[in-house]
């Protein structure tokens, strides 16, 4: 989740800022500038917080002071984040579509590799393991006849007309689901809806074998297609299956450990102060003189605020390789701080995207708005447990299976 938010956020933040201190100008308050540069941010807050009718420059100083009190020195962090980020200079991040899936990008970028030959090899490997895949998943891939549904039980009634009706409905639904790009789970869930629609009446249970056959065929064919043609594995992350996106997130995190370790870890109180800084910066977004720096600082504050939460999910001292990172991931911090994560995302959308005046983010408007719509106000206990259980299951399968 944070990867989707932070990717555009960091781009906005890293549009450029080479200053290492607040500059004095003819119309600046020299005393306030000196206090900021000497780290006396609390004194600046005390002087400006209760003052009415702040000038734009004074508001900028107040926002900067809140930022420093919140543990984020924006001027020093620019130089940190302008280093190699995810092995690519952040200032060169222009086409995010290329960053969505490093594995497919790697496959397509290899010189001298014939995609047709590669696909043929994947087809042959699938064929080698197909029997074991079917056995492991208990797939039913032979369509039962009306006699098969009776299973030798003379008391089971199978109406040929009803069998033909259901067979036609199920076949049409299967064809529909297989035509549109989707994940395995999404197709399975869409299929299960048919159970309540067609198998809840009298004697309908007798046709469950036919229902199971089509369900398993959908799952089997989806798994096969996604293995042989990984580019078809679409999901909620812009056309990337969630498993691959999860690995993408973890690999990018692994590459970025040196940078992430240099970022501050914020306390709850500091996060509240960052919120005050964001509020003050947002009031400058339409001021011609301070607009650009306010946008950059807001984006950086949101990015560092979220990364502070994210980095709590790992003990980087324990990590020796990428496998260690995967196995040590603890998602409790993300769950417990969900409210703050949502608040930051909504702030980003409402401030930088809502009015559509910021050209740099217009191309991400639909993506951010869609993501905002996915965020419930609060997580239910079931949602929390499903997420935590999913991560735990992934870890058990990936870390302790061999």
pLDDT band at 357 (very low <50, low <70, confident <90, very high): low
SS3 label, residue 359: helix
Instruction: Assess contact for 285 and 90: CB atoms under 8 A.
Output: no
Sign of the C-alpha dihedral computed for residues 103, 106, 109 and 111 taken in this order: negative
The CA-atom distances, in angstroms, between 275 and each of 18, 64, 67, 298, 342 are: 24, 12, 9, 10, 13
Instruction: Give the separation between CA 395 and CA 320, rounded to whole angstroms.
Output: 17
DSSP 8-class letter at 88: E
Look over the chain and give the mean of its residue pLDDT values, rounded to a whole number: 75
Residue 103 or residue 248, greater confidence: 248
Q: Domain coordinates of the chain in residue numbers? A: 2-100+239-399, 105-232
**DSSP per-residue letters across 321-334:** SHHHHHHH--THHH
pLDDT at 186 (0 to 100) = 79
pLDDT at 175 (0 to 100) = 93
Q: What is the chain's alpha carbon radius of gyration, rounded to the nearest angstrom?
A: 27
pLDDT at 202 (0 to 100) = 74
pLDDT band at 270 (very low <50, low <70, confident <90, very high): very high
pLDDT at 247 (0 to 100) = 64
Q: Is the pLDDT of residue 16 over 50?
A: no
Closest CA to 224 of 142, 103, 143, 119: 119
């Amino acid at each position: 989740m944070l990867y989707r938010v932070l990717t555009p956020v960091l781009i906005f933040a890293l549009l450029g800022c080479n200053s290492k201190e607040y500059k004095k100008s003819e119309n600046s308050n020299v005393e306030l500038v000196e206090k900021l540069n000497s780290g006396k941010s609390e004194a600046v807050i005390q002087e400006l917080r209760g003052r009415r009718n702040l000038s734009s420059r004074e508001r900028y100083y107040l926002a900067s002071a809140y930022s420093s009190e919140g543990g984020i020195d924006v001027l020093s962090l620019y130089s940190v984040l302008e280093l190699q980020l995810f092995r690519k200079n952040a200032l060169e991040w222009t086409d995010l579509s290329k960053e969505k899936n490093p594995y497919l990008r790697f496959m397509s970028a290899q010189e001298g590799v014939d995609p047709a030959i590669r696909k043929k090899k994947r087809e042959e490997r699938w064929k080698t393991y197909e029997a074991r895949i079917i056995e492991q998943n208990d797939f039913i891939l032979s369509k039962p006849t009306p006699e098969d549904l009776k299973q030798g039980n003379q008391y089971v009634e199978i109406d040929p007309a009803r069998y033909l009706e259901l067979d036609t409905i199920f076949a049409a639904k299967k064809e529909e689901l297989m035509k549109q790009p989707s994940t395995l789970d999404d197709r399975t869930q869409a299929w299960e809806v048919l159970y309540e629609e067609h198998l809840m009446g009298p004697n309908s249970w007798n046709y469950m074998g036919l229902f199971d056959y089509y369900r398993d065929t959908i799952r089997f064919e989806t798994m096969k297609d996604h293995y042989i043609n990984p580019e078809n594995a679409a999901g909620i992350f812009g056309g990337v299956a969630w498993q691959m996106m999860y690995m993408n997130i973890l690999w990018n995190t692994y590459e970025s450990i040196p940078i992430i370790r240099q970022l501050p870890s914020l306390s709850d109180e500091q996060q509240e102060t960052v919120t005050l800084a964001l509020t003050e910066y947002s009031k400058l977004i339409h001021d011609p003189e301070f607009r650009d720096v306010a946008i950059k600082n807001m984006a950086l504050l949101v990015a560092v605020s979220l990364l502070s939460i994210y980095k709590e999910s790992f003990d980087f001292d324990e990590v020796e390789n990428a496998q260690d990172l995967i196995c040590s991931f603890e998602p409790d911090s993300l769950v417990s701080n969900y409210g703050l994560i949502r608040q930051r995302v909504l702030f980003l959308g409402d401030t930088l995207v809502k009015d559509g005046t910021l050209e740099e983010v217009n191309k991400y408007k639909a993506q951010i708005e869609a993501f905002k719509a996915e965020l419930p106000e609060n997580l239910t206990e079931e949602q929390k447990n499903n997420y935590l259980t999913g991560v735990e299951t992934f870890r058990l399968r990936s870390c302790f299976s061999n």
